[in-house]
A and B are shown apart, each in its own frame.
Chain A
Amino acid sequence: VSNAVSFPALGTTAVVCVVEPGGLEPARAAVAQELEAIDRACSRFRPDSELSRLNAAPGRRALVGALLLEALQVAVRAAAVTDGLVDPTIGRTLRQSGYDRTFTLVRARRGCAPRFATVPGWKTIELDAERRTVRFPPGAELDLGATAKALAADRAARASACAAGCGVLVGLGGDIAVAGEPPPGGWPVRVADDHAAPLDGDGAVVSIQHGGLASSGTTVRRWRARKAELHHIVDPRTARPAATPWRTVTVAAATCVDANTASTAAVVLGAQAPAWLSRLGLPALLVSRTGAATRVVGWPED
């Protein structure tokens, strides 16, 4: 691996690595373009985003752009395959619980009075792919945070590999997607609790050749609300932050979207997560709140 660049994007850090140094600039430009498009379509915090306009007009059938439609389809599929554990209709409860602005601002705020709204459920969403319309009931708000970043990583990896003409790794706040021919030995990635951990910090290093790698956890995106400490992974069954034995779950899959869908669902699912991941054949590392590691489906030992 010869070259890499990182820059802020989507409220986190984007990392672009290329096999051929000459491909770095075209890869970076392609990634930046994809991320800007995703942000315009799917951000819950940009008032001019398509998603913000959609959330402002529930109950009406709205025409959406191709990218938001794809993001909605990905979110609905994630909900379907996880039996609703990863549900895009958690937007309202997430907002009322205090996550109503970019996380930097949430963290800077000194407490808030959290409230929790019921989650209408993904089955209330009406999608018409042919007419590119979507409708959901009044009271519902969509949040694509669980899947849109992973979708962005997959799309950016494909686009940048094409632009660079070589193998590319794209990392977006811990969501990793690779495309093109990997370097010999694969792409080495450190597995940590926090995606912002230094490259030479703690945690094992694993190598991936294809697909995606994603981590979900409850230790990083946390905020204080009154006397409680909340985190951003909502259990749609309770409409509250998931009560889970896992600190961090990392999953490898054929795409970053699949990896992220599974890692988020595993956090929400709790104790049954190792068996669920095993049934799906997804290699995963689950780290409990006490630091005990559970490896499934061939996840390597440290």
Chain B
Amino acid sequence: MAETRSEVLHRRVASAAAARDAGLRRLRVATRAAVVGAVALGSAFAGLAAASVHGRKLTTAPNVRAAPRRSRVGASKPAHHATGIAPVPKLVPVASADQPPPPEPPPAPPTATQAPPVAVTGAS
């Protein structure tokens, strides 16, 4: 039995709609993939940038009071924890970044004296 003209037209329209829907689906998948890829790449580059030019000097320089809330003495805890930036691999140990001042000399060295001593220094 031959198709009527209207049946042929209807079939062609349905086929075109199906092709359009398939194209839209492919477009949505491609868009999602592009967004996910962009976010991943952005995160990776942000991490790299933070690792190479991070703010540790600002928080650990001498005379700056904004020390990290919790520091593992001499171990690898990034100082920019205090700034709220996401943790990144540490480049410089805290021990060397926060090296305290060395023992300080007295204002004047001891001098020899003939006065009777009031105390003794020696090993204990």
Contacts and interface: CB of A to CB of B under 8 A. Distances in A.
Interface of A: 1, 4, 12, 15, 17, 76-77, 80-81, 122-131, 149, 169, 171, 173-176, 185-201, 203-221, 248, 250-255, 258-259, 261-262, 280-283, 297-302
Contacts of B121: 171, 174-176, 189-192, 195, 213-215, 250
A192 B103 CA distance: 23
A217 B122 contact: yes
Given A122-B73, A199-B117, A255-B104, A206 B112 contact: yes
Interface residues of B, number: 35
Q: Is the contact region of chain A dominated by helix, strand, or loop, or is it mixed?
A: mixed
B84 interface: no
Contacts, number: 202
A291 to B, nearest CB: 14
Q: Is the contact region of chain B dominated by helix, strand, or loop, or is it mixed?
A: loop
Contact of A300 (B67, B70, B72, B110): B110
Contacts of A149: 124
Contact of B71 (A15, A128, A282): A128
Contacts of A258: 103-104
B99 to A, nearest CB: 6
B110 A126 contact: no
Nearest to B108: A209
Contacts of A281: 105
Contacts of A198: 120
